[in-house]
Amino acid sequence: MNSQEIEKMAHKMSWQKFVAMEEKEKIIFLNNLHTGNPFHVLFAQQFNRENLDLLCQIAEIARAINKNKQEGVKFLRKLLSGTHALNFFYQPSSRTFLSFETAQETLGMSIRDIRDPSVSSEAKGETLEDSIRTFSSYVDLIIMRYPEKQAVEKGAWVLNKSDRRIPIINAGSGKDQHPTQALTDIYTLHKSFNGEIDGRTIVMCGDLKRGRTVRSLSYLMKNYHDMKLIFVSPSHLRMKKDIKDFLTSHNITYLEEDNLEEIIPLADAIYMTRIQDEWDEKNDQTKKIPKPVDPKYKFKKEYLELMKKDAVLMHPLPKRDEIDEEVGYFRDKRVVFWRQPRNGVWIRVALIALIFQKQQTILDYTHWPKKWREGG
Ligand code: NCD
């Protein structure tokens, strides 16, 4: 199918048909019709090795450009100046929200937000698709966090039907996916291992059933060679079958283990996660005091001794007690979870730049300060 045919099909497609398609069939309706790079970003399966490597490259260069506080900062700010972004967050968020805002500001976008469902016309009975279609008249990009998986898909579907097909990015869809956190994690691995992610063993520990970040990161593993995943979790919070089936179908080895301590020496990356008890039944958020994590699934400070010398300890944050508090204060270069938020800003800069096809302008940047050009 050529791009016009895809566009025509997307225009005509019913929601029932769109939602019933498998993820891999949906991709052509989400990516840029000409470049094949992600345009609407709904799930991690949309990314291939080529665009992941490209995103890490753009993030690194944009970050270096930004160090030039005169020309560099101005150059980045001009890239998307005159465009507007809407951050539409219907679920609690502080870091992802701030991360997107910082990325948008870095690229010169002006920013609007909606964070309170009660102020939106949905409270007056408007459908979500009508809300999104209306919002698309005011802005050039929508970032959306919503408790239900299908909400952001509905956004992409309705925008595909509109004459103003602006991009929409999933900033967390319930228990399902969080693709831009997974991109942050890939960029963190890329930086930690000097671009050599292939062949690594990644341990994921905690709430693997409801943690959307580990789900999205597992999907991205298909793009790397000889990866091994080791899942460590309480038995009722194991990684779900859909992910395990995906890994099997892509010949990615995974194991399920119960003893974190024994596994640590094998790991290149240990990815700790919070127990997502906001999803527990009859959970009253206002009164809830988090239960201490089962010590079996806690990263204790002594475990640093067991880690390989070039392994890394990651966490998407927010964290509770699943990592001994002191670990965060050690000046150990393997503790990278405080670097992830900063990496998250730059990979989001890269993603937005790619969506708006500004990647080449960034890669071709030539206004380096004189001393850098001379290798200073
Ligand atoms: C995570 C999320 O919201 O899914 N945090 C994040 O976006 N950095 C993880 C969590 O809430 O535990």
Q: Residue 319, SS3?
A: coil
Atom of ligand 1 nearest to the CA of 273: 12
What is the distance in A from the centroid of ligand 1 to the CA of 261? 24
Q: Which of 94, 99, 181, 214 to mutate to test the pocket of ligand 1 (most atoms within 8 A of CB)?
A: 181
Which tokens in the block code for residue 206? Answer: 């905690």
Q: How many CB atoms lie within 10 A of CB 353?
A: 26
Nearest residue (by CA) to ligand 1, atom 8, is 316
How much is the pLDDT for 92? 81
How much is the pLDDT for 279? 82
Residues 303 and 312: beta-carbon distance below 8 Å: no
Question: pLDDT tens digits, the chain, 376 residues: what are they?
Answer: 888 999 999 999 999 999 999 999 999 999 998 999 999 999 999 999 999 999 999 999 999 999 998 899 999 999 999 999 999 998 888 899 999 999 999 999 999 999 977 767 776 789 999 999 999 999 999 999 999 999 999 999 999 999 999 999 999 998 999 999 999 999 999 999 999 999 999 999 999 999 999 999 999 999 999 999 999 999 999 999 999 999 999 999 999 999 999 999 999 999 999 999 888 876 555 556 778 899 999 999 999 999 999 999 999 999 999 999 999 999 999 999 999 999 999 999 999 999 999 999 999 998 877 666 666 5
Domains of the chain: 3-176+343-367 (3.40.50.1370), 179-278+291-337 (3.40.50.1370)
How much is the pLDDT for 373? 62
How much is the pLDDT for 375? 62
How much is the pLDDT for 278? 85
What is the distance in A from the centroid of ligand 1 to the CA of 172? 8
Q: What is the pTM of this model?
A: 0.95
Atom of ligand 1 nearest to the CA of 171: 7
Cα end-to-end span (Å), the chain? 51
How much is the pLDDT for 31? 96
Is the CB of residue 316 below 6 angstroms from any atom belonging to ligand 1?
A: yes
How much is the pLDDT for 332? 96
Burial 38-55 (b: 16+ CB within 10 A, else e): bbbbbbbbbbbeebbebb
How much is the pLDDT for 376? 54
Neighbouring residues of 333: CB distance < 8 A, sequence distance ≥ 6:
none
